[in-house]
Amino acid sequence: MEQDTLRQVLVDVPRTAPEVGLFRNERVRRALGRLLYIWACRHPASSYVQGINDLATPLMAVFLGERVGGILEEEEQLDGRPSGRGSVLSGDILEEVSDDELFEVEADSYWCLTALLAGIQDHYTADQPGVQRMVQRLRELVRRIDADLANHLSETGVEFMQFAFRWMNCLLLREFNLPCIVRLWDTYLSEGEGGFEDFHVYVCAAFLCQFSAEVRGMEFDELFGFMQSVPTG
């Protein structure tokens, strides 16, 4: 069982945020792999499932930035040129991070990931009832606030589970860039208990309804493709 878990972790770590330079760094990948494997071994009820690797990325980025006083993204000067300061997400700051500091980041990320998942652990147990519950709540919420949109999705045969499962499973990490996610999660944390489950559903509803007019003009094939890759750039 542990060997299967380790194998899956080692497969998923290189796939984690591949567009972000920080997570292409071998030292960071080793740290991420260790914390995911240890978390899985200590939580056999759910063990490791795909998606948990994504949840660790904003935590590691924030803690690395804290260690070196870095910024998440490179800032621009008033004339629009890059500031020249290294950024966390590019991986530029890793030369300033010692092995001991990286171990501390790994430990902090592990404990914060543990605290985060403690409130939503049934998202990652068998059949993922927590995710299914949130998708159902999203469906009901959209029916109340934008009945035309909900009816169009139903009439075209697009199920909420087909696109919103990932929104709940990965907490929108695959829809938005990491700086945006850090701000979003900061709001979730400020909401206290339920921020990552209750408030997240409202965020997803607002996100979906933002594209209501466009979606209501699409038929199944176009609509299905759109919902798999909603434009957020």
pLDDT band at residue 77 under the 50/70/90 scheme = very low
Q: What is the dihedral of CA 63, 29, 130, 170, to 10 degrees?
A: 80
Of 59, 87, 118, the residue that ends a domain is 118
Share the mean pLDDT of the chain. 89
**Bridge partners, 82 (sequence order):** 76
Residue 44 lies in a domain: yes
Question: Of 109-118, 119-128, 131-140, 216-225, which gets the smallest average pLDDT?
Answer: 119-128
Question: Whole domain around residue 67: which residue ranges?
Answer: 2-118
Q: What is the pLDDT of residue 74?
A: 54
Query: Above 50 in pLDDT, residue 109?
Result: yes
Examine the fold and report which residue of 90, 118, 146 is the final residue of a domain before the chain moves on: 118
Question: What is the predicted pLDDT for the residue at 78?
Answer: 40
Q: What would the pLDDT profile of 3-22 be if each residue is shown by its tens digit?
A: 899 999 999 999 999 999 99
Whether 233 maps to a domain, the answer reads no
Distance of CA 131 to the CA centre of its chain: 14
- Calculate what percentage of the chain has a pLDDT beyond 90: 68
Q: Is the pLDDT of residue 79 over 80?
A: no
Same domain, 149 and 99: no
Alpha carbon distance, N-terminus to C-terminus of the chain? 40
- Residue 232: pLDDT over 90: no
pLDDT value at residue 76: 41
154-174 burial by CB neighbour count: b if 16+ within 10 A, else e?
eebebebeebbbbbbbbbbbe
CB 62 within 8 A of CB 189: no
Question: Is residue 82 classed as helix, strand or coil in its secondary structure?
Answer: strand
The total number of structural domains that make up the chain: 2
Span 171-200, pLDDT tens digits: 999 899 999 999 999 999 998 888 898 999
Query: Is 124 within a domain?
Result: no
Residue type, 6: L
pLDDT interval class at 233 (50, 70, 90): low
Same domain, 39 and 102: yes
